[in-house]
Structure 1
Amino acid sequence: MNYLNAKSAPAREDRLKTNIAYGGTCADVKDCLKSGCFGAGGCLNLAGRRFSQTHGCQFTLSLAILNTLRNAVIIMHAPIGCGSCSIGNVGVNKSFKQLRDPKAEGVIWLNTNLDEADVISGGERKLREAVLYADREFRPETIIVANGCVPSLIGDDIDSILSDLQNQTAANIVPIHCEGFKTKVMATAYDAVYHGILKRYVKTPDRRTQLAETDLDKLTEQYRISRNVNILNVGSMSRADELELQRLLNAIGLNVTFIPCYAEPEDFEYALETSLNVSICGTHDDYFVEHLKETYNIPFIVDTIPIGRKNTDRWLLRIASHFGLEKEAQQLIALENKQLDASLAPYRKALRGKRVFLAGGEVRIIATAEILQDLGLTVVGFKAHHFDQFIEPMFDALENIDDVLVDVATNQPFEQSNLLERIKPDIFIAHTGGNNISAKHGIPILPLFGPSYNYLGYSGVFEVARRLNKTARNGQFNKKLAQNLKLPYRSDWYAKDPFTYIKQQDAV
């Protein structure tokens, strides 16, 4: 599992045999999972598509995490267009940082602006200038260099340059090798970021041992650490989500620290002062927690994401059982569920029977489907960015979904459009920013996550129900779009099987 001697993290196609092209039913997927078909040649390890309309890029997804880190300057070593998506996150990231530290600055990034001449002569000079400028101008604690496709293709020796510059700068320099062309699985970005964090941030702290001068101090510190839990947050979590999970774990006597998003570099150093690492989503965190278990013997939990009451119950009990706090957790769960039942009654009445299609990250869409079933809605389809073994426990919370269609595709809006035209759901739930074509089908849309909304925990169930009810009652805007705008696909495409272009691994 320890890949830190390598320059970069391996692609998930190789490490996890992740699937990015699949069409079938939930029953098919569950059968494949039971058969262990994620190995080479397995039925879930498919090659791809004969036609691909769009694809995800691990460079931009890496920036989604890196831009949240406090006291850091991000340097994009790439052409100017790479990372331009960061502009849309400036206000959000600044606001989120200041929820942790009122004095925190917004996103500070530079781009080396590689052009045609640099492709011939190399971009190393521009990188050196950018690093020295960042250190001199902003005096950050950390300078993070995200490496794009172009410098990797032309052979810029990023690590040697940054190693040399480390002796000339006050900031800690962290290389992140997240070139988009190296993987078709966008989620490899999480591994790329954690790879850099593990190599440059995580180390055994000494501050606590210096403070612990007496036996009583040592015992107090050991007790604190024994009750501390690292929650590995994700970019799709809001601050309200974090506070809800913190509330639940505090209620059973545990302390909580959130990393990596919106953390400071120092937070990673003291990440080793914990009794348990808890992943919110296996898609994000297995690379990190597996390494800490292997190197520092810190146990971890990678199970389910606490979206929906059943998933939250299970998540809370798994953590409580590690500390012998099952009784306290059961009492809390009973109280939370009683209050939740009373609050959901009017929404169940209003939403019962409506048909919903979900698209997004594999773990999140399956977990969100549990909320829908709890409210009496019918799940009619899934479109996941990819599938791997971390999806298996998510099906446990769902009922009667064997016949529900599953499309595995990172973006690929042509497949999604075909499925929506066929299934005609009443509501579409998907990631923000990729719903323009779906809106033209006239379907009301609820974002799968939002930076200012609560989705996780018991309060998240109520918030999703409240917003879902509002969405279902106010669908006129999208209906008007469908009446006045044309979809970009020809009618003969909608007559074809939506999975026409998916090819098996052994296809020629």
Structure 2
Amino acid sequence: MDDDSIVFHGTLSQLLAKVESGEMIPKLQASHAPMCKFFTAYYVINGIRHVVPLVHGPTGCPLYMSDIVRTRECCEERGVPLEPTACTTLDESNVIYGGEGKLLEAVKEADKKYHPDLIVILSCCCSGIIGDDVESIAREAEEQVNCRVLALRSEGFGGDFRSGYEDAFKLIMELMEPPKKKVKGTVNILGARWGPTLTEFNEDMEEVKRLLGEMGVTINAVIAGGCTVDEIKRAREVELNASWCYDWGQKLGDIMQERFGIPYSKTGQPYGLRATKEWMLGIARPMGLEDKALEVIERETEQVQPYLDYLHEALNGKTAIIEISEFPGPIRALSLARMVEEFGAHPVVINVHPYTIKERMPSIKFLLETGVNPEIILTKGLFRLGSFRSSKETEDELEAIVRKYEDPIFFGNSARYPPCPVVNLTLLNPAFQPQYGFRGIKNIAALVRQALEYKDLPRSKLLRGMLYGPK
């Protein structure tokens, strides 16, 4: 590979230093620009059952949310009952004279029509620019309807994508009532933010619930991954908050610890044996369940020992090329890097965009503290096309990178065509879910075995040509 194609080659800590200094942040926003504050705020609110997100803006703003997120991803693909997304449909007159009156009427209509447990007003760029007082309208409307009404300033220009979900999590805290009692042996799982959509794997959550149940721990709420308003109201009654993903749960966990005194277990994602042990003990120790957790860990480890042995045998000495394109996402990619290193492979993570490092700075620093510091390569294709999606340019660069390493194995999107075994980690591979915990160890071992046993089978040149054009 021509070295001119590589923009950065170093470790995660070195990339972090360049991002903090501003050296690696492109000035031009292109298709790599992350979701705006409105999008991520909506995704958090969408994770609450029987809630009506009320978008205060023109009709186009909620289109993607209602059509793609709620209708396709939740209802059609996950079998979740379809719930509405409402909109005030601001027009030119409202932009000139204000839309607060229209917003008040929309809240009352949504309550009468849908009878929800909660209505959340979400401002968009339009209502944010004209300065409508959504908070005052929410307070006024709540006195006239039969449910809670909250307002969130989520106009896209009002912050980055991270501030959207963090502000939404803070808003949810307004629903948390003073505890009537402390329920021993209960936890909240923090950090799910899309609800019943494709980024929150039901199978991973089922494994989390299973392991907690084996330790004698009950989940009060998964905030906000399909939880109810009542579960959020009871959230302060738990013994402990634990993370679904440290990156997304960290802010809410820290605030609830500071404001309510609820301890927060700070652990990474349970990929592989070592991280799974840490995740379980991070919950068990503050709850006085360490002995029980160790008993479960010993039993579960014995059951998956053949799979652990196979992963050591299969990955030891290899170079694991891990890419975040389509899946598994930046934090999962780094968690995978730690896992493959545990089994003797050398991890190389490709094209973690500097925006990802900037927006997830606390989590990146946390991972570095836990010893996660893999080799990182950024290519020109990432910056030129600016997309996390696979492209002809990034495919060519990936193929060239793989040829530079001895005994490589690729973890990522099965639509890639590197000259090495491909471990298919895409979302649409349900037969090999979950990837968390002990069951995840079995599934990842099966995926690795599949990749190595069928590595010599020819792959479709026609499909490659359709995806990336002729060589």
Give me the TM-score of the superposition, normalised by structure 2: 0.78
Q: 1:178 aligns with which of 132, 145, 154?
A: 154
Structure 2 residue 349 is the aligned partner of structure 1 residue 405: no
After superposition, what is the alpha-carbon deviation per residue over 1:295-338, rounded to whole angstroms, capped at 9, x for unaligned? 22111122211122221111112222213333332232232223
> Distance in 2 between the 1:478 and 1:304 partners?
37
CA drift at 1:244: 1.2
SS in 2 for 1:75: strand
After superposition, what is the alpha-carbon deviation per residue over 1:48-74, rounded to whole angstroms, capped at 9, x for unaligned? 434533312232222223223112112
Q: Which residue of 1 aligns with 2:216?
A: 253
Q: What does residue range 491-502 of structure 1 map to in structure 2 within 5 Å?
A: none
CA contact (8 A) 2:189 2:222 kept: yes
SS in 2 for 1:69: coil
Larger displacement relative to structure 2 (346-355 or 326-335): 346-355
CA contact (8 A) 1:303 1:393 kept: no
Structure 2 residue 327 is the aligned partner of structure 1 residue 364: no
Q: Which residue of 2 aligns with 1:238?
A: 201
CA drift at 1:155: 1.3
Structure 2 residue 194 is the aligned partner of structure 1 residue 226: no
Letter in 1 for 2:367: M
CA contact (8 A) 1:229 1:274 kept: yes
Q: Which residue of 2 aligns with 1:212?
A: none
SS in 1 for 2:323: strand
Q: What does residue range 113-152 of structure 1 map to in structure 2 within 5 Å?
A: 113-152=89-128
Structure 2 residue 441 is the aligned partner of structure 1 residue 461: yes
Q: Which residue of 2 aligns with 1:7?
A: none
Q: 1:286 aligns with which of 213, 238, 250?
A: 250
> Distance in 1 between the 2:388 and 2:291 partners?
50
Q: 1:486 to 1:91 in 2, by over 3 A?
A: closer
CA contact (8 A) 1:307 1:457 kept: yes
> Distance in 1 between the 2:63 and 2:100 partners?
21
Letter in 1 for 2:110: A
CA contact (8 A) 2:111 2:147 kept: yes
Q: 1:43 aligns with which of 17, 21, 29?
A: 21
Q: Which residue of 2 aligns with 1:316?
A: 280
Q: 2:164 aligns with which of 177, 186, 189?
A: 189
Structure 2 residue 358 is the aligned partner of structure 1 residue 379: no
After superposition, what is the alpha-carbon deviation per residue over 1:255-299, rounded to whole angstroms, capped at 9, x for unaligned? 222321111111111111111111222321222222221222111
Q: 1:478 to 1:281 in 2, by over 3 A?
A: farther
Letter in 2 for 1:405: I
Runs of 5+ in structure 1 lacking a partner?
A: 1-21, 99-103, 209-221, 492-508
Q: Which residue of 1 aligns with 2:54?
A: 75
> Distance in 2 between the 1:111 and 1:168 partners?
19
Structure 2 residue 8 is the aligned partner of structure 1 residue 30: no
SS in 1 for 2:176: coil
Q: 1:441 to 1:297 in 2, by over 3 A?
A: same
Q: 1:390 to 1:357 in 2, by over 3 A?
A: same
Larger displacement relative to structure 2 (86-95 or 324-333): 86-95
CA contact (8 A) 1:149 1:180 kept: yes
CA contact (8 A) 1:237 1:449 kept: no
CA drift at 1:83: 3.4
For the aligned residue pairs, the C-alpha RMSD in angstroms reads 3.8
CA contact (8 A) 1:440 1:481 kept: no
Q: Which residue of 2 aligns with 1:389?
A: 362
> Distance in 2 between the 1:397 and 1:354 partners?
21
CA contact (8 A) 1:78 1:111 kept: yes
> Distance in 2 between the 1:267 and 1:78 partners?
30
Q: Which residue of 2 aligns with 1:307?
A: 271
> Distance in 2 between the 1:439 and 1:118 partners?
49
Runs of 5+ in structure 2 lacking a partner?
A: 1-5, 403-408
SS in 1 for 2:116: coil
CA drift at 1:468: 5.6
Q: 1:446 to 1:79 in 2, by over 3 A?
A: farther
CA contact (8 A) 1:445 1:471 kept: yes
Identity across matched positions, percent: 22
Structure 2 residue 461 is the aligned partner of structure 1 residue 483: no
Query: How many residues are matched?
Result: 431
Q: 1:241 to 1:484 in 2, by over 3 A?
A: closer
CA drift at 1:367: 0.8
Letter in 1 for 2:463: L
Letter in 2 for 1:336: E
Q: Which residue of 2 aligns with 1:154?
A: 130
Q: 1:274 to 1:174 in 2, by over 3 A?
A: same
Letter in 1 for 2:211: L
Q: 1:343 to 1:465 in 2, by over 3 A?
A: closer
> Distance in 1 between the 2:462 and 2:342 partners?
31
After superposition, what is the alpha-carbon deviation per residue over 1:458-508, rounded to whole angstroms, capped at 9, x for unaligned? 1123223434655774997774333245569xx9xxxxxxxxxxxxxxxxx
Letter in 2 for 1:165: A
CA contact (8 A) 2:166 2:252 kept: yes
Larger displacement relative to structure 2 (243-252 or 77-86): 77-86
SS in 1 for 2:188: strand
SS in 2 for 1:482: helix
CA contact (8 A) 1:59 1:83 kept: no
> Distance in 1 between the 2:9 and 2:208 partners?
33
CA contact (8 A) 1:176 1:195 kept: no
Q: Which residue of 2 aligns with 1:14?
A: none
> Distance in 2 between the 1:375 and 1:198 partners?
40
Structure 2 residue 303 is the aligned partner of structure 1 residue 339: yes
